[in-house]
Structure 1
Amino acid sequence: MAAQDTIGIVTTNIQNKTATVTFGHPASNSFPRNLLDKLTAEIHKLSSNQEVSVIVLQSQGNGAFCAGASFDELLAVQTLDQGTHFFSGFAHLLNAMRNCSQIIVGRVQGKAVGGGVGIIAACDYVFATVSSAIKLSEIAIGIGPFVIEPAVSHKIGKTAMSQLALAPHAWKTAPWANEKGLYSEVFDNQENLDENLNSFVEKLASYHPQALQELKKVLWEGTENWDTLLLQRAQVSGKLVLSDFTKNALSQFKK
């Protein structure tokens, strides 16, 4: 099954009780709002599929895992409603991932920025390569990682989150992300990553589905307020993106 248009793609392949979901976008796998909606809808759809025990989430290509929000769409925001609508796309995706019935295993082959780090944090187990550095650049453009912060802090804690958020120009290495708990395992190259990921997922898919579902609930205990919280955070970001500071910063970034 696949959903595709000129500005992004989401495809799903189901084999042996495992759904591999791939998202892609020409601009370093960044996310315009409609692509966020496609991925969210796919996660919701798979969550009710009793033939699927595990979801592998990956991005297209061998470059960046995810460059976060689409700068073109951020620059196009003219009103608070538009800004809130855009950032709520990340809110809906993260909530879909945490509420999903299946364990979500992330495959991270390259760098991740902003919202991409949030998506990684919303996975339950993550395989990455040593080239998969991460960065939260939002504060440098006048906004902040407000929508994704609960997911990132849930995974690595407030202290590590602050080290990312307050150093928006600094890349944190894959070993750093592994040490903090964002990455579960890190490998020298994609070949080793895929070999170990496939073995892990094969075993995971063989376990009792109900036991996996109950464990998933345990992993996300204490996040029940996120349905409201993340949308409130989207409104904060939606307001900040309207500032002259942010408009100028985004224009400079694009240049």
Structure 2
Amino acid sequence: MNDDRILTKIDELGRATLTLNRPELHNAFDDALIATLVEALKGFERDEQVRVVMLAANGKSFSSGADLNWMRRMADYTFEENLADANGLAELMKVLANLSKPTVALVQGAAIGGGVGLVVCCDIALATEQASFCLSEVKLGLIPAVISPYVATAIGARATRRYFLTAERLDAREALRLGLVHEVLADREALAARAEALSRAMLQNGPRAMAAVKELVAEVAHAWLDDDLIADTAERIAEMRASAEGREGLSAFLEKRQPSWVRG
């Protein structure tokens, strides 16, 4: 799906790139664009050829969050209309965070409000030195409620309280220190090269295993370490060992060959 606002591409190796393409509006989104993003991500989820998903943006900014015209419309919305809007954004964040394919955010500029939400919902976040981040909702008398679980997971509750309350702008190095991003690169060229290397590395891995790893982390990250959790983790590895992918991976290792899923 290619249109003026979002560009999607899937290469011969199965790497899908979704690019925000409203540079003149700092890649802000509204309800219609949110629905389009959800549709694109669900399409990647269904496509068995897609192995890795990368989220990028054209222009100076990564995403400034809510579009100004959308915010003007919101000012006259009823509670029910606002709730429907919020649920649309919540679905976008949920779909992105729960995608079974690995996701990589390429942050080349400013990410504001909901734009930060897109970043923290990805499995891996890369940023240039020029990137910046701001959770600015309180400046408008609002709160970043929909993205809050993902931000808190990324940087912890204490840091989340601080930056939700102050609406300070973070540079790329501070974002790295907090865990908001994983790596900082010198410029866009270095950003693209690192994304290329990481995506190729993930193409060497079992696709079902990577999906299972994402489910595993979601289950164990905040779970109480008790007998039920221990039993669950044992069952998960037993299932993977007995799966076709697990058997192929072990056979390939013992036979000193590449497994059948390797690309690139």
TM-score of the pair, normalised by structure 2: 0.79
**Are 1:71 and 2:68 matched, yes or no?**
yes
1:213 to 211, 214, 221: 211
1:40 to 32, 38, 48: 38
Mapping for residues 176-187 of structure 1, pairs under 5 Å: 176-187=174-185
Q: Could you say what secondary structure the match of 1:177 adopts? A: helix
> How many residues matched?
219
- Comparing both chains, which one has the higher relative contact order based on Cα–Cα distances under 8 Å and sequence gaps of 6 or more? 1
Mapping for residues 137-216 of structure 1, pairs under 5 Å: 137-168=136-167, 170-216=168-214
Post-superposition shift, 1:221?
2.7
Mapping for residues 82-93 of structure 1, pairs under 5 Å: 82-93=81-92
Distance in 1 (CA, whole Å) between partners of 2:129 and 2:101 is 27
Deviations 1:13-46 (A, max 9, x none): 3331211111222310000111111111111111
Name the structure 1 match of 2:19: 22
**Are 1:107 and 2:101 matched, yes or no?**
no
Distance in 2 (CA, whole Å) between partners of 1:15 and 1:152 is 33
Mapping for residues 50-61 of structure 1, pairs under 5 Å: 50-61=48-59
* Contact 1:98-1:220 within 8 A present in 2 as well: no
Post-superposition shift, 1:222?
6.8
* Contact 1:37-1:89 within 8 A present in 2 as well: yes
Distance in 2 (CA, whole Å) between partners of 1:129 and 1:45 is 28
Partner letter of residue 169 of structure 2?
W
Distance in 1 (CA, whole Å) between partners of 2:58 and 2:82 is 27
Per the alignment, do residues 222 and 67 of structure 1 end up closer, same or farther by CA in structure 2, a change over 3 Å counting? farther
Identity across the alignment (%): 29
* Contact 2:6-2:18 within 8 A present in 1 as well: no
Distance in 2 (CA, whole Å) between partners of 1:210 and 1:11 is 23
Per the alignment, do residues 108 and 15 of structure 1 end up closer, same or farther by CA in structure 2, a change over 3 Å counting? farther
Look at both structures and tell me which one has the larger radius of gyration over its CA atoms: 2
Name the structure 2 match of 1:233: none
Instruction: Tell me the C-alpha RMSD between the 2 structures.
Output: 1.7
Deviations 1:151-172 (A, max 9, x none): 111111111111211112x211
Q: After the TM superposition, which of the residue ranges 16-25 and 32-41 deviates more from structure 2? A: 16-25
* Contact 2:62-2:108 within 8 A present in 1 as well: yes
Partner letter of residue 58 of structure 1?
A
Q: Could you say what secondary structure the match of 2:39 adopts? A: helix
Which ranges in structure 1 are unaligned for 5 or more consecutive residues? 225-255
* Contact 1:23-1:39 within 8 A present in 2 as well: no
Q: Could you say what secondary structure the match of 1:182 adopts? A: coil
Deviations 1:164-195 (A, max 9, x none): 11112x21111111111111110111111111
Post-superposition shift, 1:48?
1.6
Post-superposition shift, 1:87?
2.1
Name the structure 1 match of 2:259: none
1:9 to 3, 6, 10: 6
Post-superposition shift, 1:215?
1.0
Distance in 2 (CA, whole Å) between partners of 1:81 and 1:12 is 36
* Contact 2:8-2:16 within 8 A present in 1 as well: no
Post-superposition shift, 1:82?
2.1
Distance in 1 (CA, whole Å) between partners of 2:205 and 2:158 is 35
Partner letter of residue 158 of structure 1?
A
Partner letter of residue 175 of structure 2?
A
Deviations 1:117-173 (A, max 9, x none): 0110000001110111100110110111011000111111111111211112x2111
Partner letter of residue 30 of structure 1?
A
Partner letter of residue 67 of structure 1?
S
Distance in 2 (CA, whole Å) between partners of 1:172 and 1:125 is 18
Partner letter of residue 121 of structure 1?
V
Moved over 4 A (4+): none
Partner letter of residue 202 of structure 1?
R
Post-superposition shift, 1:72?
1.3
Mapping for residues 113-124 of structure 1, pairs under 5 Å: 113-124=112-123
Distance in 2 (CA, whole Å) between partners of 1:27 and 1:152 is 24
